[in-house]
Chains A and B, each alone.
Chain A
């Protein structure tokens, strides 16, 4: 296989925990805990998980928006964490980011033309090329060039996200990290943005690092999927591996919980209602972090952390008791004694 475009190895990000008013805390929260993955050219890898699992922090560390505590982020063979600022700035044109809330990530005092020209100017584009490139970008994201002199607030949410995407592709990057790019949008608008992202990926050969909590959107858009829980990847593999042959109990619980807009199927599916809440990242459980909510947990799960290993080809699972199940379509009659 060719060298990956992005190789993330043993990434760790710690934040100091907030202490009380009178006493500073020396505790740290490990938001990302030993995360490794590869992303190949033209590929879409999604990181999926619930609030606080560390998926957004992972993306921010990869993009060098947040400095990782330790670990390595290699982009096209270059180690980003050790790169001098100026070199990093120059390399940034090749990896860009799109955020959830285009309202908050677009400068309200700038026209769309200014927003889209800025990255080009910053990266020393020939001034004569900026205007035609901006027109081209508007075309790529299916906005009208006539709207270039309007401000972000004059657009709808979906159109604003198109502007955010146009800005991200302005410098013809190889990779874009997308942090929940469609979760603030109504479904009919969401579908258009998903299709736009798919089209741009195919047309421009982009690799996407897609961060999302919506399992249905991830199913639709991804080549490969990594599932995170409490700062760790618990399972990763191809789209089919994760959605049709999930082996980690947490992945299975997530998939079983996500509703399907199909009343007969939805009412026939087995439910796995996991009890309780995600434990505090300040004091994660020993061994497997999911064991406090897992119906398969044994003493071994408390004593020994299950490593992320590969029982099949490229389908990695961090569990002492993995068992492949298709939970998406499994009817209730197949349900085991748990739930």
Chain B
């Protein structure tokens, strides 16, 4: 396989608090290749968002980040702020859950889009304005020329998210980091936005790292899937392998507790709750909720290792949990 576009290795993110550090990301290894759609799934607090924010240096001043993040071979941890600034909105675009808080409410859509172009590419205001229309066109914004004069509050949630995608695409990035991009949207709007992302991706060979709690979204768009739990990846593999041939009990628990549109089969809850990130047990973080727990699970940390079709972090794998 070619050189990875983005490579995270042994990434740790800690938030110091008076009562001890919260270890939000605990040794994450992740790669994204050019043109690949990588899904990062997990529940609240699993570390899926903060790990990708730290790629861009957006983890906030309180966080302690260690490990390595390379983008096209360049190390980003400890890189000068100017270099990260150049990368953000340049080679790496970002979109977030709530476009209203990401857009400037006092500036028109056209102004914000042109700014994204000019900051990275110089050039004239007129050229940037034309580029802004092209960008809105690319995200299938109805009536793009008129929309340039709109303020964010005049747009619906779906249109704002289109503006965010247009802005993220302003400088033709190699990678788009999408953090819960459709979570705040209604289901028909979500379908429109996923359609736009899928189309842009295939037109431009764009790589997308999509962070979501919604396994349905991942099933539809991702090439590879990473399942996170308590700051670690517990399972990863090609999308079909993770859904149909998973090895980790958490992955199987997550799928078994999901209500589905196409069946009314019984839901099997996992039971319990994720551990507190400042008081993690020794060994596997899922041990308290796992039906397959053995003494080996409580003795030492478990690393992600190839088992069957996927890589999974379970000492008891394979336990044939995922064969259907």
Residues on the A chain within 8 Å of B105, using CB? none
Residues on the A chain within 8 Å of B220, using CB? 259, 263, 266-267
Pairwise interchain contact A254-B214, C-beta atoms closer than 8 A:
no
Pairwise interchain contact B257-A216, C-beta atoms closer than 8 A:
no
| B255 nearest CB across to chain A (Å) | 6
Chain B interface residue bracket vs A: 35 or more
Q: How far is the CA of A222 from the CA of B259 in the complex (A)?
A: 12
Q: How many A-B residue pairs have CB under 8 A?
A: 123
| B161 nearest CB across to chain A (Å) | 12
Residues on the A chain within 8 Å of B213, using CB? 186-187
Interface residues in A265-311 (C-beta closer than 8 Å to B):
265-267, 271, 273-274, 276-277
Pairwise interchain contact A188-B269, C-beta atoms closer than 8 A:
yes
User: Which single member of B195, B216, B244, B254 contacts A260 (CB below 8 Å)?
Assistant: B216
User: Which single member of B189, B192, B243, B261 contacts A255 (CB below 8 Å)?
Assistant: B261
Pairwise interchain contact A259-B156, C-beta atoms closer than 8 A:
no
Pairwise interchain contact B253-A188, C-beta atoms closer than 8 A:
yes
Residues on the A chain within 8 Å of B219, using CB? 259-263, 266-267
**Which chain A residue lies CB-closest to B267?**
A191
**B187-206: contact bitstring with A at CB < 8 Å (1 yes, 0 no)?**
11111100100000000000
Q: Given contacts A186-B43, A271-B195, is CB(A50)–CB(B188) below 8 Å?
A: yes
Residues on the B chain within 8 Å of A264, using CB? 240
Q: Is B158 an interface residue (CB 8 A)?
A: yes
Pairwise interchain contact B187-A192, C-beta atoms closer than 8 A:
no
| A230 nearest CB across to chain B (Å) | 13
Residues on the B chain within 8 Å of A261, using CB? 215-216, 218-219, 243, 255, 258, 260
Q: Given contacts A188-B257, A195-B267, A263-B243, is CB(A273)–CB(B195) below 8 Å?
A: yes
Does more than half of chain A's interface fall in helix, strand or loop, or is it mixed? Answer: helix
Pairwise interchain contact B261-A216, C-beta atoms closer than 8 A:
yes
Q: Is B138 an interface residue (CB 8 A)?
A: no
Residues on the A chain within 8 Å of B267, using CB? 191, 194-195, 220
Q: How far is the CA of A189 from the CA of B268 in the complex (A)?
A: 11
Residues on the A chain within 8 Å of B192, using CB? 273
**A234-268: contact bitstring with B at CB < 8 Å (1 yes, 0 no)?**
00000100010000000001111111111111110
| Chain A to chain B contacts (Cβ below 8 Å), 18 pairs | A51-B186, A191-B268, A195-B267, A216-B258, A216-B260, A219-B259, A219-B260, A219-B263, A220-B259, A221-B259, A243-B261, A254-B188, A260-B260, A260-B261, A261-B218, A261-B219, A262-B260, A263-B239
Interface residues, chain A, with chain B CB atoms under 8 Å away: 50-51, 156, 158, 186-192, 194-195, 213-217, 219-221, 239, 243, 253-267, 271, 273-274, 276-277, 328-329
